[in-house]
Structure 1
Amino acid sequence: MNIRLMEPFPADPAQEQRDLLARAAALAAMSALPEPDEVPSVTYRSAGRVLVVGNAAHALLHADRLAQSLPVTLLLTDAEAGGLPARAYPVFAPRAVAVAGWLGAFEARWQAAGQASQQGSFDLVLDLSASPLIATHQHPHGYYAPGQSEDARRAAVDELLDMVGEFEKPKYFIYKERLCAHSRNQRNGCSACIDICSAGAIAPAGERIRVNPYLCAGCGACTTVCPTGALAYAYPGASYTGTRLKAALRAFAEAGGRDPVVLLHSQADGAALLASHAGAGHALPGRMIPLALHHVASTGIDVWLSAIAYGAAGVTVLLTGAEAPQYAAALDQQMALAQAVLDGLGYAGPHVHLARVAAPDELETALRHAPRGAVPPEPATFHLALDKRNSLDYALEHLLRHAPVPATEIPLPAASPFGALQVKRDACSLCMACVGACPSGALQDGQALPQLRFIEKNCVQCGLCADTCPENAITLVPRLSFAETRNQPVVLNETEPFNCIRCGQPFGTLQMIENMLTRLSSHPAFADHLDRIRMCGDCRVRDMMQPGGELTVQLRRPV
């Protein structure tokens, strides 16, 4: 967000004092809430088997220290097989090393010059290579790649010495595979979660995805970009975050505060930056309500628009630079979508702000330019649901009801999770391949009628229908519709049914049969028997079984 577009308002000392008191009330309201429900946990077991990788100048010293307490295997990347140092633990001289896995379940492969490939299983890895062997932004638990700092290397060894036993972490996500729009019929649809995961924890699994809970680092970015809600964040869930927001904003308003801004920050790096900001003599503006999250990438348009509906004049998401770079891009995209909706409904903004700061002085500037957007005259009372699309429906309904400029349709940026479809009727044969590919029930057949129907509310713009269509007759139209018809099936295409020329039963459409006649007229199976194309499957088989395969029926005109 360009802060030049968000000029600070003139200071009002009296209102600032009211805002400070109101913020205290808001924080107290959040503190009074019960703790969120516990989530399932993921268990790791480590016997302390350590793999150390690096050159002799650095790795030997740390391997020797670890070996005093733990079983160690050392891969010296700059040693020759004939000149390995004598140690009580195994030492190898590899020329190629590969490592994968997580705490208690690492697998390593290496190969020395002129030797066969070797492998081993380990609980922990100390990687002192010039470039990390595991290149993901978020490293697996049990994998330490401290870089070139000797202090960081010693700290990593200190931690490794304690990494023996059983460990637990939350299972951060919930996956509802029935909602997943990843793939259908070997066609790729949505891969947003796979593309954004900084831990390499998500991979394709046929028509669905597979999330490895041992690699998942709990950032929640996958749930933010998921258009359907197939992936939901559970630590805590959106419903608990919504409860905190609603309690804080209600208390803030009742205490006389004005134009509150929710400041979302991480419990680790974000909280440390705020502490440094305070330590440098800076104070948060009174209207800023800080709300700590496990990771700031875990919230998106459902939470932000709900916060606006509850009365927040803005939402600021604090990035410190420690996040994976793709997270900032995804949050920018989500904010563009949220602001497009609010602009389309006539709410003067901006309302959302992505603050990229790494130092207290930068944070001070960013907070002075926090958003101060228009809000509904009445705060919403709905509760955020675990289901993302339901929460968005609640928020959008409230924002529309009080919109300064009620809209029927709002154009949205490309790749938005809402939209319509355009179908070229002269090209569409009503083969219904798109209906079979649609993961959200947005496309439906006409049951007994040759019709293609569409429910816009259900569409997530995954593109599977367009990619599946053999006639290239479908185009995505990103938009948000508030028309009454968005919840109802509308007919995108229909045609005259075609009846079998032998038994008279309907089995296709006139356009489909005409297309087949054109395409199959030279096919050996039909070249001398084109009327078989005009028959249903049963009659076609009967005709082929007749001596000579000659037609013996009186032809009918289709009705």
Structure 2
Amino acid sequence: MNIRLIEGQGVALDPVQDDRDRVARNAALAALADIPAPDPLDTVGYKSAGHTLVVGTRADALPWAERLAAALPVTVLLLDDDGSDKALRLYPVFAARALVVTGWLGAFDATWQTGGSKPEHARFDLVLDLGAAPQIATHQRPHGYYAPGLDPAARQAAVAELAGMVGDFEKPKYFAYKERLCAHGRNRRSGCNACVEICSAGAISGAGDLIAVNPYLCAGCGACTTVCPTGALGYAYPGAAHTGMRIKAALNAYTQAGGREPVLLVHGLEGAALLDAVDVPGRVLPLGVHHTASTGIDIWLAALAWGAAGITVLMTDAEAPQYAAALDEQMTIAQTIMTGLGYAGAHVQLLRATGPDELARALQNAPRGEVPARRAGFNVAADKRNTLDYALEHLLREAPQQVEEIALPAGSPFGTLAVDAGKCSLCMACVGACPASALQDGQNAPQLRFIEKNCVQCGLCADTCPEDAIRLVPRLSFRDTRKQPVVLNETQPFHCIRCNKPFGTLRMVESMLARLAGHPAFAGHLDRMRMCGDCRVIDMMTPAGEQTIHQAQELRRQR
């Protein structure tokens, strides 16, 4: 078991208070039971006629295919066959090399090589993969794909389940995607890739400047929404607002019933089975969720603002390892914020438990962090960044230690930018790349302005900058200026040498002159680079003689 507990110390259990806490916990659980389940906003549908592909060696695949063939139409691909088997069977059998399987329930595509040079292809509704290594290697397998391994009991269970996988099926569409908030990329530059990297189902991929989420592969773990810094990906079933309502109701009921130092224990289905075998301390409030990776720093900080003494997330070996790494990073950020505000003790705990005895000992060390003197009253918002603002404002207002800023670890979703004014030409490429409107131009003035509250530290601005003049500075600022545009760089405007209209900056014009001096369009006409766009076109369309007369007139006028 891997236990992560920041500054946590075991505290001797007070039996009297523990009894009170258990009564209060019953009140909290009753409050949770009164909250109705959310209705799915959208669903994803599957259709299966039962056409099943069985993959494996002759010794593994054929006996199980015989059993399945009594209930389903079966096709067998043998991975160790030379094609010499001519036995008559009620289902087709092929020797297969270089097999590739992709897809999901009702839409699995298989491509393989036989004796010929042309590859074979077929579509199936279901797959029973009995090979030594799964053809689909993602941690979270697609619906309709069974890879039970070598255990005969697991194989028997898979075959029994396959027999019932005929008909129409549906599941919730677990996510909502707001393209305008996505920081994945801009102008063919890569920015945030957190959701693509963490998805254990292979359901998310880059699609130019945006991402594409395959709803048929999505397993609803919610990890992508947890690591998304902007809220572009949101958990939709249940939504964050519904989860927040459950947590707030449970904490309110627990406190009103006389409970103390409540700890929110977030767990999934596997964790629930483990908890059934453990005598959980009275102050620990179990909160069942579809998946433990679906809650993150916004929900945790809100719970702490509502009076939770800590957050414990219980994970088992069933979850993908990258989920634990992501939650650990989020917990580091959350604890850094709480410590920076002066709240004593540990507030977050990540448990990876394999047995009830280990879990029981770990829960005795559940966090007992200092909480705000007054509990917050806000509700979780639909927008992730708004929820973070509500929670942080309350935690600051009640903080034992008033601070102007807190330094955060790299990868945090808050921060500022350091701009090297000596390098920056105010080309404004960073403004066009910023997905959060944190960077803005000066409108009618040559200025680069920045609103820190909007910055998600995606790095697109730094990656886009042609002068390498921008550096990310992760931090959490509580200054009033964080909500207002501040000038990061400015200069005097450059005026067109023909009409005197401001159209750029001196540094930008000098940079253009240096880069385009050898360009054929400006050979012998470098002064055009010192003209605004309108005057440049006029100059290009003016005959050479008239240009000479105009230049002489300009010289006389300047004298």
When normalised by structure 2's length, the TM-score is 0.96
CA displacement at 1:255 relative to structure 2: 1.3
CA contact (8 A) 2:459 2:472 kept: yes
CA distance in 1, matches of 2:5, 2:394: 28
Find the residue that maps to 2:522 and give its secondary structure: coil
Indicate yes or no: 2:500 matched with 1:504: yes
Kindly report which structure 2 residues correspond to 1:418-437, keeping only aligned pairs within 5 A, or say none.
418-437=414-433
Q: Does the alignment pair 1:359 with 2:355? A: yes
Moved more, 130-139 or 230-239: 230-239
The answer on whether the counterparts of 2:7 and 2:345 sit within 8 Å (CA) in structure 1 is no
1:515 paired with 2:511, answer: yes
Q: Structure 1 residue aligned with 2:171, among 148, 154, 169?
A: 169
Q: Which amino acid aligns with 2:240?
A: A
Partner of residue 476, structure 1:
472
Q: Is the 8 A contact 2:5 2:346 kept in 1?
A: no
Residue 235 of structure 1: how far off its partner (Å): 1.7
* Structure 1 residue 256: Cα displacement: 1.3
Superposed counterparts of 1:135-534, under 5 Å:
135-266=137-268, 268-275=269-276, 277-278=277-278, 283-534=279-530
User: Could you tell me how far 1:113 is from its partner in structure 2?
Assistant: 3.3
Superposition deviation, residue 414 in structure 1: 0.3
2:77 equivalent to 1:81: no
* Equivalent-residue separation in structure 1 for 2:344 and 2:286 (angstroms): 23
User: Residue 385 and residue 478 in structure 1: after superposition, are their counterparts in 2 closer, same or farther (change >3 A)?
Assistant: same
> What letter is aligned with 1:168?
E
Task: Determine the C-alpha separation between the residues in 2 that align with 1:485 and 1:135.
Answer: 49
Residue deviations 1:419-454 (CA, integer Å, cap 9, x gap)? 101111111111111000000100011111111110
Please report how far the alpha carbon of residue 209 of structure 1 lies from its aligned counterpart in structure 2 after TM superposition: 0.6
Alignment partner of 1:81: what SS?
Answer: coil
Distance in 2 separating the partners of 1:39 and 1:4: 38
Unmatched runs of 5 consecutive residues or more in structure 1:
none
Q: CA deviation at 1:544?
A: 2.3
- Cα drift, residue 557 of structure 1: 11
Taking the aligned partners of 1:497 and 1:199, their CA distance within structure 2 comes to 52
CA drift of 1:523 comes to 3.6
Residue 95 of structure 2: which of 67, 72, 93 is its match? 93
Partners of 2:557 and 2:73 in 1: how far apart? 84
- Select the residue among 58, 68, 80 that pairs with 2:70: 68
Classify 1:34/1:556 alpha carbon distance in 2 versus 1 (closer, same or farther; 3 Å): farther
Bigger drift between 88-97 and 520-529 goes to 520-529
Q: Give the length in aligned residue pairs.
A: 552
- Other-structure match for 2:107: 105
Contact 1:261 / 1:313 at 8 angstroms: preserved in 2? Answer: yes
Post-superposition offset of 1:37: 3.3
Q: In 2 relative to 1, CA 129–555 (structure 1 residues): closer, same or farther, beyond 3 Å? A: farther
The alpha carbon displacement at 1:6 in A equals 1.7
Superposed displacement of residue 527, structure 1: 4.2
CA distance in 1, matches of 2:68, 2:36: 43
Report the 3-state secondary structure (helix = DSSP H, G, I; strand = E; otherwise coil) of the residue aligned with 1:101.
Answer: strand
Q: Which amino acid aligns with 1:429?
A: S
* AA at the equivalent of 2:364: R
Post-superposition offset of 1:385: 0.9
The 8 Å contact of residues 273 and 320 in structure 1, kept in 2 or not, is answered as no
Q: Which moved more, 1:109-118 or 1:403-412?
A: 109-118
Q: Is the 8 A contact 1:84 1:93 kept in 2?
A: no
Letter matched to residue 324 of structure 1? A
Which structure exhibits the higher relative contact order, with contacts defined as CA atoms closer than 8 Å and separated by 6 or more residues?
2
| 3-state SS in 2 of match to 1:45 | strand
- Greater CA deviation, 514-523 or 251-260? 514-523
Which stretch shifts more, 253-262 or 540-549? Answer: 540-549
SS at match of 2:112: strand
Aligned partner letter, 1:351: H
CA–CA separation in structure 2 for the residues paired with 1:5 and 1:375: 15
Deviations for 1:467-496, whole angstroms, at most 9, x for unmatched residues? 001111110000011100111111111111
Query: Counterpart of 2:286 in 1: which secondary structure?
Result: strand
**Residues 417 and 473 in structure 2, CA contact (< 8 A), matched pair in contact too:** yes
The Cα of 1:240 is off from its aligned counterpart by 1.0
Amino acid paired to 2:211: I
How far, CA to CA, are the matches of 1:487 and 1:376 in structure 2? 24
C-alpha deviation, 1:99, in angstroms: 0.3
CA distance in 2 between counterparts of 1:555 and 1:107 reads 75
Give the secondary structure class of the aligned counterpart of 1:22: helix
1:308–1:557 Cα change, 3 Å: farther
Give, in angstroms, the shift of residue 525 of structure 1. Answer: 3.5
User: Within 2, Cα distance between the matches of 1:38 and 1:273?
Assistant: 28
Shift of 1:252: 1.1
Question: SS of the counterpart of 2:402?
Answer: coil
* SS of residue matched to 1:364: helix
Q: Distance in 2 between matches of 1:78 and 1:420?
A: 59
SS in 1 for 2:481: helix
CA offsets, 1:73-118, max 9 Å, x none? 1001111112243212111001221000000001000102344210
C-alpha spacing 1:315/1:499, structure 2 compared with 1 (3 Å): same
Preserved contact between residue 500 and residue 534 of structure 1 (Cα < 8 Å): yes
Query: C-alpha distance in 1, partners of 2:409/2:216?
Result: 35
**Structure-1 separation of matches of 2:438 and 2:389:** 16
Could you tell me the TM-score, scaled by structure 1's length? 0.96
Report the alpha carbon displacement of residue 3 of structure 1 after superposing the two structures with TM: 4.4
Cα 1:556–1:107 shift into 2, 3 Å: farther
Shift of 1:34: 2.9
Partner of 2:26: 24
Unmatched runs of 5 consecutive residues or more in structure 2: none
Aligned to 2:58: 56
How far has the Cα of 1:556 moved from its partner?
10
Q: Secondary structure at the match of 2:432?
A: helix
Deviation at 1:505, TM superposition (A): 1.2
> Which letter maps to 1:110?
W
Q: Distance in 1 between matches of 2:53 and 2:94?
A: 11
Return closer, same or farther for 1:556/1:364 CA change in 2, 3 Å cut-off. farther
Task: Output aligned runs, 1:516-555, within 5 Å.
Answer: 516-548=512-544, 550-551=547-548, 552-553=550-551, 554=554
SS at match of 1:317: strand
Q: Closer, same or farther in 2 for the Cα pair 1:525/1:367, shift >3 Å?
A: same
